[in-house]
Amino acid sequence: MKKRLLFYDILAQIEHKNAIVVTGMRQVGKTTLLKQLYMEIGHEKKRLWFDFDNPLDMKVFEEIDYRNIYARLQQMAGATKDEKIYVFIDELQNFPETTKIIKYLLDHYGVKFLVTGSSNFYLKNLFPESLSGRKFLYDLPPLNFKEYLYFHDKISLEQAQEKNISKILLEQNIFTVKRFEPDYEAYLQYGGFPEVVVTEGQETKQMILKNIFKSFFEKDLKIISDHQDIRELRDLLLLLVPRVGSAMEVSKLASELGVDRPKIYSYLEFLQGVFMIRLLPKFSHSIDRAVAGGKKVYFSDNGLLNIIGKVNDAQLLENAVVNQLAIYGELNFYNKRNTAEIDIILNKEMAFEIKSSGIDSDKTKLERLSADLKINKNFVISKKFIDKSGFVSPVIF
């Protein structure tokens, strides 16, 4: 298995004192990433591996006196008091009390912790406030399209790691676009979960995706004990599928589901916290107005979206592009009094309109709306290649 791009970012911080926390959906490769880091630091380091899906591994940390835990880790690693210990913990959310131990051992003994957790929903209140400034938090999403190409040996590691979007936009050419179009069709249908990406055969890919979705209900939803809540969450997901790319009306969702608005908001927070969905806020130069506006909904992976329900080709394209552009910074959308819209505004400085087949009037309209917002850079992302200035293909992101 190739290394995820995040591997190299984390490797650069391996000797920093801060704890490293990796979150993300199930099956995106967190455990594999952690094991690769474990192997990378080598046998010469005093390293320990714990899997908190295993109750026996958790038992090591079930001790009131944290000094005794350190002594036990020291003994297990064969480390002297002057040697640094590297502790790897997979599935941290299964034993939240460990976070207090992490703080103590980090502060008093300089123990380096590298841990994974299945979601921000579990982790946002997991770490004590005193760990602020003591951790680096990384989100590991499904593969974006450039990483997808890297996994298939279609582009180099350096090309996959390129994050300068202005440079990427300038380097587009018809030969690159045509070369990668078949790969992009597969990406639109099956998404970016690593096991899905490296597996041959449509039926097998679909089976893997179904298992990932099943795992979501079996494991991530265990935090919700009420069976009624689980059914409502399932039904909410089904209601969100046809709304992909549209601004949500929470009141309408609440009415269709037969629950109150606060419950819908809590469900949406949960689904976003476990990385099932992505919510885009409205663009505004005012922070307050941006928060207040209704949000557009997307799913975090096209493969999962296709397993849960069916959307049209335009929605599938928009869902993929939103996830592709998310690695480059903050995303918003713009709606002008329900009469005109910009699909994506990146970092408040670059506007994108997403079309299956872009035309000149799309670019003219986008330029006019962008000018109103004082945004000078704007591009029509067209799935059908348009060899004109201001038009780009989604395969380059």
* DSSP track, 330-365: -EEEEEETTTEEEEEEETTTEEEEEESS--HHHHHH
Residue 30 has pLDDT above 80, yes or no: yes
Average pLDDT over every residue of 134-162: 95
Q: Round to whole Å and give the CA distance between 328 and 17.
A: 27
Q: Round to whole Å and give the CA distance between 184 and 144.
A: 11
Lowest-confidence segment of 26-40, 93-107, 350-364 by average pLDDT? 93-107
Q: What is the CATH number of the domain that holds 40?
A: 3.40.50.300
Indicate if 155 and 286 belong to the same structural domain: yes
Task: Give the pLDDT score at 130.
Answer: 55
Indicate if 135 and 158 belong to the same structural domain: no
How crowded is residue 191: how many other Cβ atoms within 10 Å of its Cβ? Answer: 27
DSSP three-state, residue 115: strand
How crowded is residue 171: how many other Cβ atoms within 10 Å of its Cβ? Answer: 12
DSSP three-state, residue 246: coil
Task: Give the pLDDT score at 318.
Answer: 98
Indicate if 95 and 170 belong to the same structural domain: no
Task: Give the pLDDT score at 204.
Answer: 98
Q: Which of 89, 116, 139 is the last residue of a domain?
A: 139
pLDDT band at residue 292, thresholds of 50, 70 and 90?
A: very low
Task: Give the pLDDT score at 338.
Answer: 77
Q: Round to whole Å and give the CA distance between 155 and 397.
A: 12
Query: Do the Cβ atoms of 104 and 65 come closer than 8 Å?
Result: no
Indicate if 93 and 152 belong to the same structural domain: no
Q: Round to whole Å and give the CA distance between 33 and 174.
A: 35
Six token digits for residue 241: 């599928």
Between 132 and 301, the more confident residue is: 301
Indicate if 84 and 166 belong to the same structural domain: no
Residue 278 has pLDDT above 60, yes or no: yes
User: 344 forms bridges with which residues in the sheet?
Assistant: 352
Indicate if 102 and 71 belong to the same structural domain: yes
Under 8 Å CB-to-CB from 202, ≥6 apart: which residues?
A: 190
Average pLDDT over every residue of 171-199: 96
Rg over CA atoms, the chain: 23
Domain that holds residue 113: 5-139
Q: Whole-model pTM?
A: 0.93
Residue 132 has pLDDT above 80, yes or no: no
pLDDT tens-digit map of 193-250: 999 999 999 999 999 999 999 988 877 776 665 657 888 999 999 999 999 999 999 9
Total domains in the fold of the chain: 2
DSSP 374: T
- Strands 112-117, 19-23: pairing is parallel
Q: Which of 121, 139, 157 is the last residue of a domain?
A: 139
Q: Is the four-CA dihedral 324, 329, 332, 334 of positive or negative sign?
A: negative
Q: Round to whole Å and give the CA distance between 86 and 95.
A: 19
